[in-house]
Amino acid sequence: MEELPSPDGKWTAAVLTRDCGATTAEYMTVNLHDFEHEHLDPENDVFVTKYVRRLHVTWNGNDRLILDCDNCVAHEIEKKMDKHGTVQIIYR
């Protein structure tokens, strides 16, 4: 898991891979939660895709999260939010 705090420290974007067993595909997830909550609640997943991808996550200010997925395939993306709380999510 990789954790990336926002510049002001109010938010954390956690990039993680989930593997639920031999009969299911791996998933890559970006979980966006405020600094007070260390528990990674799936309700805070802002991006979910099947399989492990090259995903580059950066902050552009305190309330803009940039997700750049080089090899993501549209039909494998299961969740793609544009906003979470006060944070705007930009996809490239």
Q: What is the domain range of residue 83?
A: 2-91
Look up the pTM and report it. 0.90
What percentage of the chain exceeds 90 in pLDDT?
A: 74
Summarised one tens digit per residue, pLDDT across range 6-49 is: 999 999 999 999 776 666 678 999 999 998 877 789 999 999 99
Q: Does residue 52 have a pLDDT over 90?
A: no
Q: What is the pLDDT of residue 22?
A: 62
Total domain count for the chain? 1
pLDDT at 54: 87
Closest by CA to 34, choosing from 59, 5, 58, 55, is: 5
pLDDT for res 36:
81
Tokens of 50: 């099947």
